[in-house]
Structure 1
Amino acid sequence: MLSKGFEVEMYTGTPDGEIVGLSDKIVANLHGFVREPDSRNVEYTTAPLYRYERLLCELVRPRRQLRAYLHQLGNYTLIPGSTLALAGSDRFYRSDPGNPYHSYIEQTYGTTVVTASIHINIGISDPETLMRACRLVRVEAPLYLALSAASPFLDGNVTGFHSTRWGLFPKTPAHVPLFESHRHYIDWTEAQLEKGTMQNVRHLWSSVRPNGDHRPYSLNRLELRICDLMTDPIALLALTALLEARILQIAQHPELDPLQYSLLPASDRAEALVALTDANETAAAKLSLDAELRHWRDGRTILARDWIEELYQEVWGTAKQGGFSCFLLPLKKILREGNEAQRWLKQIEQGHDPETVMKQAIQTIAAEELVLADEICQPLVA
Structure 2
Amino acid sequence: MSLPSMGVEEELLLVSAAGEPLPRSKAVAGDPGVELELTRAQVEINTPVCGTADELHDHLHRMRSKLAASAAEQGGRLCAIAVPPSGHAEQLVTKKERYLQMAARYGLLAREQGVCGCHVHIDVPDKEAAIRVSNHLRPWLPTLLALTANSPIYLGSDTGFASWRSIMWSRWPCSGPPPYFESAAHYDALVAMQIASGSIMDEGMVYWDVRPSSHLPTVEVRISDVPLTIDETVLLATLIRALVMTYDGSPGPKLEPEVLRAAYWLAARDGIEGNGLDVLHAEPLPMTQLIDRLINHVGDALQELGDTDRVEDTLQRLIAEGNGAVKQRKAFREGDGVVALTEVRP
Both proteins in one fold, TM over 0.5:
yes
C-alpha displacement of 1:2: 1.3
Q: How far is the alpha carbon of 1:323 from its aligned partner? A: 2.2
In structure 1, list runs of 5 or more residues that go unmatched.
Answer: 214-218, 260-268, 371-382
Distance 1:223 1:190 in 2: 19
Question: Hey, what's the Cα distance between the residues in 2 that align with 1:87 and 1:226?
Answer: 25
> Could you tell me whether the CA contact under 8 Å between 1:172 and 1:206 is conserved in 2?
no
**Which one of 333, 340, 345 corresponds to residue 360 of structure 1?**
340
Tell me how far 1:211 sits from its aligned partner.
1.1
| Whole-angstrom CA distance in 2 between matches of 1:244 and 1:211 | 15
Q: What TM-score, normalized by structure 2, do the two folds share?
A: 0.90
Q: Residue type of the partner of 1:294?
A: L
Residue pair 2:87, 2:155 contacting (<8 A) in 1 also: yes
What is the rounded CA distance, in whole Å, between the counterparts of 1:128 and 1:295 in structure 2?
A: 27
Secondary structure, aligned partner of 1:254: coil
* Aligned pair partner of 1:304 in 284, 287, 294: 287
Question: Which residue does 2:126 correspond to in 1?
Answer: 126
Structure 2 residue aligned with 1:225? 222
Between the two proteins, what is the percent identity of the paired residues?
A: 21
Higher helix proportion, which one? 1
> Alpha-carbon deviations, 1:26-64, whole Å to 9, x = none?
34x433322112101111211221111111111121222
User: Stretches of 4+ moved more than 3 A in 1?
Assistant: 97-100
Counting matched residue pairs gives: 340
Q: Is the 8 A contact 1:97 1:103 kept in 2?
A: no
CA distance in 1, matches of 2:224, 2:105: 21
Whether the 8 Å contact between 2:14 and 2:21 is mirrored in structure 1 is: yes
Greater mean alpha carbon deviation, residues 178-187 or residues 298-307: 298-307
Q: Say if 1:19 and 1:79, in contact at 8 Å, map to a contact too.
A: no
Instruction: Give SS of 1:140's match.
Output: helix
Alpha-carbon distance between aligned partners in 1 of 2:318 and 2:105, rounded to the nearest angstrom: 34
What are the Cα deviations for residues 291-313 of structure 1, in whole angstroms up to 9, with x where unaligned? 43332322222222211112213
**Among residues 180, 187, 195, which one is paired with 1:193 in the alignment?**
195
More deviation, 62-71/4-13 = 62-71
TM-aligned CA distance change 1:7 to 1:52, over 3 Å: same
Write the distance in 1 (CA, Å) between the matches of 2:334 and 2:32. 39
Q: Which has the larger radius of gyration?
A: 1
Match for residue 320 of structure 2 among 317, 336, 346:
336
* Offset at residue 328 of structure 1 (A): 1.1
Structure 1 partner of 2:95: 96
Task: Give, as a single letter, the amino acid of the residue that structure 2 aligns with 1:155.
Answer: L
Tell me how far apart the structure 1 counterparts of residues 330 and 91 of structure 2 sit (CA, whole Å): 31
How far apart, CA to CA, are the structure 2 residues paired with 1:162 and 1:279? 15
For residue 358 of structure 1, report the CA deviation from its aligned partner.
Answer: 1.3
Please give the residue correspondences for 1:210-221 in structure 2 after superposition, counting only pairs within 5 Å.
210-213=212-215, 220-221=217-218
**Equivalences for residues 1-382 of structure 1 within 5 A:** 1-27=3-29, 29-73=30-74, 75-89=75-89, 91-96=90-95, 98-99=97-98, 100-104=100-104, 107=107, 109-169=109-169, 170-173=171-174, 176-213=178-215, 220-250=217-247, 253-255=248-250, 257-259=251-253, 269=254, 272=256, 274-329=257-312, 330-348=314-332, 351-353=333-335, 356-362=336-342, 365-366=344-345, 370=346
Check the 8 A contact 1:92/1:106 in 2, yes or no. Answer: no
Shift of 1:103: 2.3
Following the alignment from structure 2 to structure 1, what is the Cα–Cα distance between the partners of residues 288 and 101? Answer: 39
Q: Deviations over 1:180-230 (max 9, x none)?
A: 2111111111121111122100111122212132xxxxx621111121111
| Kept after mapping to 1: 8 A contact 2:123/2:217 | yes
| Structure-1 separation of matches of 2:194 and 2:102 | 19
Distance of 2:105 and 2:39 partners within structure 1: 10
Alpha carbons 1:239, 1:331 under 8 Å: kept:
no
CA distances 1:90-114 after superposition (whole Å, capped 9, x unpaired): x220210654433246515144421
Residue 91 of structure 2 contacts residue 112 of structure 2 at CA under 8 Å; is this kept in 1? no
8 Å CA contact retained: 1:171, 1:206? no
- Return the TM-score normalized by structure 1: 0.82
Is contact 1:80-1:361 (8 Å) kept? Answer: no
Per-residue deviation, 1:362: 4.2
5+ residue gaps in structure 2? Answer: none
Q: Which amino acid aligns with 2:140?
A: E
Deviations 1:53-77 (A, max 9, x none): 111111121222222222333x322
1:114-139 Cα distance to aligned partner (Å, 9 max, x none): 10111111111133332221112222
| Distance change >3 Å, CA 301–CA 362, structure 1 → 2 | closer
Q: Give the secondary-structure state (helix, strand or coil) at the position aligned to 1:151.
A: coil
Q: Return the structure number with greater strand share.
A: 2
